[in-house]
Amino acid sequence: MAVVGALLATSALSLSASPAVAVDCSSVPWMDTTKSADDRAHALLDASSQYQMYRWLNVAAVERSQQTVFPNATYPAQLECTPLVFHTDGADGVRREPGTTSFPAPIALAATFNPDLVYDKSVAQAIETFQTGHNVILGPGIASGRTPLSGRNSEYFGEDPLLSGVLGAAASQGYEVDRDDIAVVANVKHYVANEQELDRNTSSSNIDERTFRQVYALPYEIALADGGAESIMCSYNQINGVYGCENEMILDETLRDSMGWEGYTMSDFRAVHSTGPAIASGLDQELNDPTYFTPQLIDDAIEAGEITLADVETAAFRIVRSYIREGLFDTPMPTTPNPQSSTPEHKAIARQLAEQGTVLLKNDGALPLASASADDIALIGPTASATPTGGISATSVCSMFNRFPGNTLLCEALIAPDVAIADRAGLGSTVTFDAGADVATAAAAAAAADTAIVFGYKRMGEFADPTSLSLDGNGDALIAAVAAVNPNTVVILQAGSAVEMPWIDDVEAVLHSWYPGEQMGPALAGILFGDVNPSGKLPMTLPKALADTPTGSDPSRYPGIFSNGSTTRPSGSSEIRQVNYTEGLQVGYKWYDEQGIEPLFEFGHGLSYTTFDYSKLKVRTKLDKKTGQVVSKVSFFVENAGSRAGTEVPQVYLALPDTAAEPGKRLVGFDRIELAPGAKAKVEIVLDSMASNQPFGIWDVDADAWKVIGGEYTVSVGSSSRDLPLTEEIEVDFSKLK
C-alpha cells in the first residue's frame, strides 16, 4: 500500500493535508472567477500537497475526493473548495439512470447529416447528465468504420472523416454548452484506430503515417478544432506496437504539438500499462481505481528518472484547468438527483432524430402506406413488440447497450412499433402481430394481410465482433418466407452496422432504422404512413457481401494474425494480434471507388417520397498568392420536383489531382435543406484549404504537415457518393505564388 513517503521531503510543494476547519471558498484563489483558468489551476496546485496533486491523475480519487484509502493506494483527502466530479457513458443517453431519455444510437445520428439536431440532442443529454449527478460524459465516440464487423460501429458516426468530425464537434459543443445552470466536460473517444472489439486489449493497429493522419486522426482533428472538447480518451489497442495510452506519437506529437490541442487525456478502463512511460508520453488521467497511477508507483517512476515531478504537475494542471474552463468548479451539481430529467422537449428531439436518421434504402411503391394498403397490416418479427419472444423484443434494439443485463433503464419509456403503428392506422384497419418464431405461421399471417412489415434485427455492441453480416434470429429466412407470399412486403432493419440482404430483390421497400431509441414506434409509424418524409442518408457503405469490404478477404487486415500466420490466438498465448491496415487510404466509399466494386447501397444514399433535381453548378476558386490558401465557393440549385414536401442532403465531393495519389474522391461539404413541392433553393458550400477538414490537403510525411497539391481537381455534387449529376473541373496553379 502506498503511503506518504520520504520522497516528499525533497518536494517544493506543501505536504500538509487540507485543514480540518471549513474554508470560506470565496476567499481561496482558485475560486476567484476574475482570474484566468490557468492562474486558478496553478493556485490550486500551489496550495496542494504532493499527494493531493496526485489525486487528479486518477478518476476514482477524483470522484471520491474525501476517501483516503483505495485498494492500491492511500492519499490525503483532497483540498476543500474543489468540485464533485462524476463520470457517465454518453453514447445514447445517461446510462443506468431512471427518468432519462433514450436517444437513438450515434450511427443513427450520423444518418441525419444534421449537426444542428445533434447539438440539440447533446444539450438535452448534458442537462440530464448534470441533473442526475454527473459532469463528465464519456463521449462522443469517433471511429472510421474500417470494417462493418466492428462491434461498436453503432457508437460512432460512420466511415467518413468529415461527417464524423463535424458531428463529433456538434456533440462536444452541446455537451459543453455554456449555461449557468449546468457544467459538463466532453470526453471524445476512443483515440485512436480502435476499429474492432476482437482482441482490442491485445492487438496492434499497424498504420502508415499518411493513412493515420488522413483517415483515423483527421475526424478527431476536426472535432477538436471545431468542437473544443476538453478531454480525450485513449484506446485499448496498440498503434504500431505501442499502446495508445502510452504512445507519445499520438498523444503528444499529434494531439498537442501538431493539432495544438490543450485539454487533458484520460485512459479507457484498465487501458493503462505503465506509470512513467504513460505519463511521459502524455497520459494525464487513469480511468479506474488506482492501478498504475498510484502514489507509490508515481514516486518510483520519479525516483527512477522516468518522469519528473513537473511532469506530474503538468498532467494535474491540464485536468484542473479543463474542469475550471468548463465550469465544474463554479457550478455545483444538485444535491439531490432529478428522478425525472427527461422532458417532453427531450423526447421530441429523440423522435426527430429517429425520424431523420431512418434511411429509406429501397421503395418500389409500397411506401408510404396508402389507405387501401393500410386496411390489413401484418407486423412480423420479435422486435416489433415490447413483449419478449425468446428474450428478444423492441427493447433489445432500442439501444445498443440493451444486449447487456441491467441496462433496460435505457429504454424504460420505449413506445414499441406495434403500439404506435396500430394507433396510427386507426379504426377500420387491422394490425396483427406475429413474432416470427415459427416461419410457416408467420408466412401465413403475412399472406392474409394487404401489407406485411417484417422487422429484421442484429444485436451488436461492446466486447465482441459479429462473425457475419447476416441478421440474427433467422431473420433472413423469415423475410424471404414473408416476401414469397406477400408481394407488398416492407422490411425494417434494426442493426448497428451494415447487414447483407439476400432477399433485397424480393421485397418492395426497405428502411434502415439502426437502434432508434425510445421513440422508435412513433418515428417508424410516421414514416410508414407518410406523415414524415424520410430524409436519412447512409453514413456507411452497405456491401453486397462481406468479401467486398476493405477487410473482407485479407485476414491480415481483419481479424489480424499471429506470428504463426494463424488468425486464432494460440492456446495460452498473450501474443499481440497484428492487424495490418494495408488498405491504406481506401476506407469506406473510397475503397469501392478505387476497386471498382458496386456496393449494395453507397455512402450518402437515402431515398425520399419526393424527388430532387440538381442544376447550375458554379465553382469560383481563388488562390492567395502570399499564403497559398485555396478557397473554392461551390454553388448550385436543388429543386423539389415532386408533390410532397421533403428534405434533401446535397453532398459535395472532391477528386484530387493524380499526383496526389489519393483514392477515389472525398466528401468535402454537405447541407440539409427543406423544400416545399416545386420549390428551388440555392446551396453554397465553401471549401477552404485552411479549414480543419483539409478539403484540398494530403498529409506530407516528409514535411510532417498538410500539403495542397497543384493541379486539376474535380468537384462533384449530388445526393450520394455515386449519384453525382453535377461536375466541374478546377485548376490550382501554385506557379503564380510570389
Tell me, what DSSP letter sits at residue 375?
S
Residues 6+ apart with CB under 8 A from 139: 89, 90, 91, 171, 175, 186, 187, 188, 189
Q: What's the CA gap between 237 and 194, in Å, rounded?
A: 6
Q: What's the CA gap between 544 and 560, in Å, rounded?
A: 23
Q: Dihedral sign, CA of 64, 66, 70, 75?
A: positive
Q: What's the CA gap between 420 and 572, in Å, rounded?
A: 52
Candidates 666, 672, 722, 719; CA nearest to 695 is 666
Three-class DSSP category at 141: strand
Phi, psi of 225 (to 5 degrees): -65, -40
- What amino acid is encoded at 179 in this protein? R
Per DSSP, the chain holds a count of helices (H) and strands (E) of 19, 28
Asked whether 112 and 356 are in contact (CB, 8 A), the reply is yes
Q: What's the CA gap between 371 and 127, in Å, rounded?
A: 41
Q: Which burial class, exposed, middle or buried, applies to 270 when counting CB atoms under 10 A from its CB (0-12, 13-18, 19+)?
A: middle
- The upper half-sphere exposure of residue 165, i.e. CA atoms within 13 Å in the direction of its Cβ, equals 25
**Residue 178 annotated as catalytic:** no
Residues 6+ apart with CB under 8 A from 695: 654, 666, 668, 669, 687, 688, 689
Asked whether 297 and 150 are in contact (CB, 8 A), the reply is no
Catalytic residue among 160, 268, 472, 593: 268
Q: What's the CA gap between 183 and 413, in Å, rounded?
A: 26
Three-class DSSP category at 365: coil
Which residue numbers are catalytic?
A: 268
